[in-house]
Amino acid sequence: MDDATRAEVERWTGCVAGALTRDDYTRLLQAAGLTDIEIIESHRVHAHASSAIIRARKATESRSSSRP
């Protein structure tokens, strides 16, 4: 295997090894306090993996109680 091919395989396996399921990622976003979570698949990179656009909102505390 040439160096370029070996480097490509290493990048691919490193990417896939760090991937999360949709449910796991959603739970992590919720645990961080995010709401209105949208996960929109942008393109499939493998039968069991895809790239996605993630949208979510961070709830803000009411500032009216802290204003003078």
pTM here is 0.64
> At 5, phi and psi to the nearest 5?
-65, -45
**pLDDT value for 34:** 96
C-alpha to C-alpha distance for 29 and 64, rounded to whole angstroms: 27
Q: How many CA atoms lie within 13 A of 19 on its CB side?
A: 16
pLDDT at residue 68 greater than cutoff 60: no
Residue 36 and residue 16 in contact, taking contact as beta carbons nearer than 8 Å: no
pLDDT at residue 15 greater than cutoff 90: no
1-11: average pLDDT: 82
**Which pLDDT band, with edges at 50, 70 and 90, does 61 fall under?**
low
Query: Kindly report the CA angle at 40 between 14 and 12, in degrees rounded to 5?
Result: 15
57-61: average pLDDT: 81
Write the single-letter amino acid at 20: L
pLDDT at residue 63 greater than cutoff 70: no
